[in-house]
A and B are shown apart, each in its own frame.
Chain A
Amino acid sequence: MLTFTGVTRRFGDVIAVDNVSLEIAEGEMIGIIGRSGAGKSTLLRLINRLCQPDSGDIRWQGTSILALKGRALRQWRCHAAMIFQQFNLVLRLDVLTNVLLGTLANRPLLASLFKIFPAEARAQAVLELDRLGMADAALKRTQFLSGGQQQRVAIARAMQQRPELLLADEPVASLDPVNAEIVMQQLRDINVERGITVIVNLHSLEIARRYCRRVIGMAHGKVVFDGPVSALTDAVVAKIYGSRYASEEVGEHLGEPAAQALTEAVPLMAVS
C-alpha cells in the first residue's frame, strides 16, 4: 500500500503538488491524467524520491520513504522502477548493458564500475528482453533502435530491478500509436501477470480508459478525481482539463465528431 498524506511540493511560486492525499493498493494499475503542468510528473517523481516533498508524508507498506538515506534510498529506488517519456537510455552502450543497469543497486560498486556483471544477471537480462521481443537486439548499440524498441528496453531494465512498483512517466507520449499500444499492453501484462503495482502518467484520456482500472485526475497540483474509469463523466473531464478542452483532449486520437460522441457517451462506457 502506497499512501500520500498531505503532500505538497513547490517550485518557486508554482505549487506543483498541492496537499495531495492518496492510497494506492498493491497490484493496482492506475492512470494519472491531467494537462501539462498539472503536477503528474512531480507526483510520480516524489514516489521514487527524485524529488523531495516540502511537506507531508509518503509511506510504502507503513514505512515512511522520506526518511531513507544512502543505501536504503537506492534500494527503494530499485524497488520503485521508473521509465521515462524520452526513454533516457544510455545511447552509446549496448542494449544488454542498459538492461543490466537495473542491477546496480545490488552489486558491489567496483565490479559495476568495471562493467563486470555475473552470468546469472546477464541471463536474467536476456530473458527479460525476450519477454519483450528484444532478445535479438541485445548486443546492438542502443542509439540504433527505434523509439518503441528503446522504450521496451527501458521496461526490460525496470523489470531487471525486480520492482514492486513500476512508475511510468508519460511512457508513450513520444511514440506512434502502434508502438504506444505495444508498450501499454506490456505494462498491463506486467501488472496482471507479475502483480506489480503500475502507476502511469498519461496525456491521452483514451489510453487511460482502455488500459487502467482506476484513474486519478489532476489539475493545478490538486487531485480532482479519483475513481474507476467508468465514473469519468463529461463534467469530471471538464474539471480535469478545463471545459474548453474536454472534447479536444479526447479528440486527438479519434477526430472531432467521434470525440464529441465519446464525451457524450461516457457514462455508458465500461472498462474492459
Chain B
Amino acid sequence: MQGEAAILTAFEGAWLSQRRQVRRVQIFTLTGVVVVLALSVWLSGITATNIGDGLFERIGHFFYRMLPHLRWDSLFASRETPGSLLSWFYALPLWLKAIKETVEMAFVGTLLAGLIALPLSFGAAANVNRRGVLRQVIRRGFDTLRTIPEIILALIFAAAFSIGPVAGALTLTISSAGSLGKLFSEAIENGDVRAVESVRAAGGNWLLQMRFGMLPQVLPQVMSYWLLRLEMNVSIAAALGVVGAGGIGVELDQAISFTDFSTYLAILLILVCIIFAIDLVSEQIRHRLIGGLGKA
C-alpha cells in the first residue's frame, strides 16, 4: 500500500516535470515565432499601407477588370470584331514571337549552364576530388552564383550588354550554372566509387575514370535536374523581361502600364500555357530517364 503510493507520487512528479519541460520549450518557440512575426510586420512597413479599405475587394475588382469582354456570337470572328477571341488576343503574332524569344533564352541559358556546371561539378564532389582547396573554391563559386538574385544579374548584364535577350540568356547561364553545379555535385557524391576504381585498375586516367566510372551512374539524375532547371528558367526568363531582358516579360510590363488589363490577362494566359506544356513534356522525359533509358 505504502509502496504503491510512493511509486505513484514519484511517477506523477516525473511526468509533471516533463510536461513542464515540454511546455517551456513550446512557450519559448511560440514567443520566438511571435517576436519574429511582430518584427517582420514592423520592418516591412506593412502597417503603413491602408490594409483596411477593402483590400480583397480591390484585388477582386482588379481581377474582374482583367476579364475580357467576349461575346458568344462573335467568339470566332475576325480581329476587328469586338467580342471575338482574336480581338482579345489582338497582337497574337507579336506575343507568340515574344514567347518564342523567352523560351529560346531559357533553352540557351540552361544548356550553356549545364555544359559549364557538369565538368566543374566533378571538382566539387568530395568522393572524386581529393584536393580540398580546389573543391572548396569551386563549391563557394557555385554557391555565390546561385545566391545572387537573377534580377540583379540581369540589371548588371543589361547595363553591359544593353537591354535585350542577350543579357537575359547570359543571366540565366550564370545563375543556373551555380544551381546546377551544386545539384550535379550532390548526385556525384551519391555515386558509387567502386566502378571508378575498376577503371583506374584497368589503366584509365582520371578523365576516363569519370567518363566511364561515374558519369553513367549519375547521368539520369543529371538530366533530370537539367530539365527541371529548364522549366524554372522559362518562368524566370519571363520575369526578367520585365527589367528589359527581352521576351514576353517586356510585353507584360508594357501591357500593364499602357493597355487594357484584359490584354495583360491574354498575355499571361499564353505564358501560363507555354510553361504548362513545357512542364508536361519535361516530366515525361524525366520519367523515362529515371525509368532507365539513359544512354551513358
Contact = CB atoms under 8 A, between A and B. Distances in A.
A and B touch in the complex (CB under 8 A): yes
Interface string B86-100: 000000000000000
Interface in A97-135: 97, 101-102, 104-105, 109, 112-113
Interface stretch (B40-48, B175-183, B191-199): B191-199
A81 interface: yes
A88 B201 CA distance: 10
Contacts of A104: 199, 202-204, 208, 212
Interface size of A as a range: 20 to 34
A33 interface: no
A113 B211 contact: yes
B202 A102 contact: yes
A74 interface: yes
Contact of B201 (A48, A75, A113): A48
B202 A78 contact: yes
A89 interface: yes
Contacts of A109: 205, 207-208
A77 B203 contact: yes
A113 B197 contact: no
B294 interface: yes
Contacts of A81: 201-202
A88 B296 contact: no
A169 to B, nearest CB: 10
A90 B201 contact: no
Contacts of A157: 202
A186 interface: no
B203 A92 contact: no
A50 interface: yes
B205 A88 contact: no
A157 B207 CA distance: 19
A84 interface: yes
Contacts of B212: 90, 93, 97, 101, 104
Contacts of A113: 207-208, 211
18 contacts: A50-B201, A74-B204, A76-B203, A78-B202, A78-B203, A82-B202, A84-B194, A84-B201, A88-B198, A90-B217, A92-B294, A93-B216, A101-B198, A104-B199, A105-B202, A112-B208, A113-B211, A154-B198
Given A88-B197, A112-B204, 5 more contacts: A48-B201, A76-B203, A91-B195, A101-B202, A101-B212
